[in-house]
Amino acid sequence: MKLNVNPNRMELLKLKKRLALARRGHKLLQDKQEQLMRNFLQFVGRARELRKQVQDKLDQALRKFDLCRLVTPEKFLAAALSYPKGQLKLKVQVSRLLNVRIPRLELEEQPDPFTYGFAQTPSDLDASLKILSETLPLMIELVNVEKTIVILSEEIEKTRRRVNALEFVFIPNIAETIKYIETKLAELERSNINRLMRVKEIMLEAEAR
């Protein structure tokens, strides 16, 4: 669809500049989309790997926890687990990936869950909590990776829409308008030449008379 502009040289020049800019922008956005896609796939692979690790670790920890729970009153386990030493401290940082802002959680301090006595707690509680403590950094990493995937997928979608808009709407419209103006200008040129030729003919006829 051609744009609603006056078909003159000034507009033609402006549109040609805009077309060149749009083509350059389209190329850049396409490159960005490809790079985002590559990163996205890398993060998806990493997330899959991390999720498997976390799942395996949680399975192990819960299996051991079940072994403890089989023989220990619920209240004894609750009392043993409710008072960890220290606090969980997380730091939020923001990094940029292809100019996309990506938040990132970093584990600063992890509480020590081993504040219970050995006399009245089951042996496998230690191993269960150790595995859970090891799992926490992995879970935080998984959160980071999965959040990055969500943000990247939104950005890819946005970029794809921009690329498509440029490729299928903006650039064809400008090109069509340029073509229209060029046709219009050529037509004007031709009619001008015809007019001049006709004037010349009239003048020559007048001289001959």
Question: Where along the sequence are the contacts to other proteins (CB under 8 A)?
Answer: 64, 66-71, 73-80, 82-83, 85, 112, 114-120, 122-124, 126-127, 130
d(CA 79, CA 72): 11
Nearest CB to other proteins, comparing residues 7 and 111? 111
Contacts (Cβ under 8 Å, ≥6 apart) of 40? 149, 152, 153, 156
d(CA 204, CA 201): 5
Nearest CB to other proteins, comparing residues 15 and 80? 80
Nearest CB to other proteins, comparing residues 128 and 144? 128
Query: Shortest Cβ distance from residue 53 to other proteins (Å)?
Result: 18
Cα separations in angstroms, 95 against 36, 64, 101, 108: 15, 38, 6, 17
d(CA 74, CA 128): 16
Nearest CB to other proteins, comparing residues 133 and 173? 133
Nearest CB to other proteins, comparing residues 93 and 120? 120
Query: Shortest Cβ distance from residue 49 to other proteins (Å)?
Result: 24
Which residue, among 35, 54, 64, has the nearest Cα to 124 in the 3D structure?
Answer: 64
d(CA 61, CA 51): 15
Query: Shortest Cβ distance from residue 137 to other proteins (Å)?
Result: 18
Query: Shortest Cβ distance from residue 55 to other proteins (Å)?
Result: 18
d(CA 18, CA 175): 10
Query: Shortest Cβ distance from residue 112 to other proteins (Å)?
Result: 7
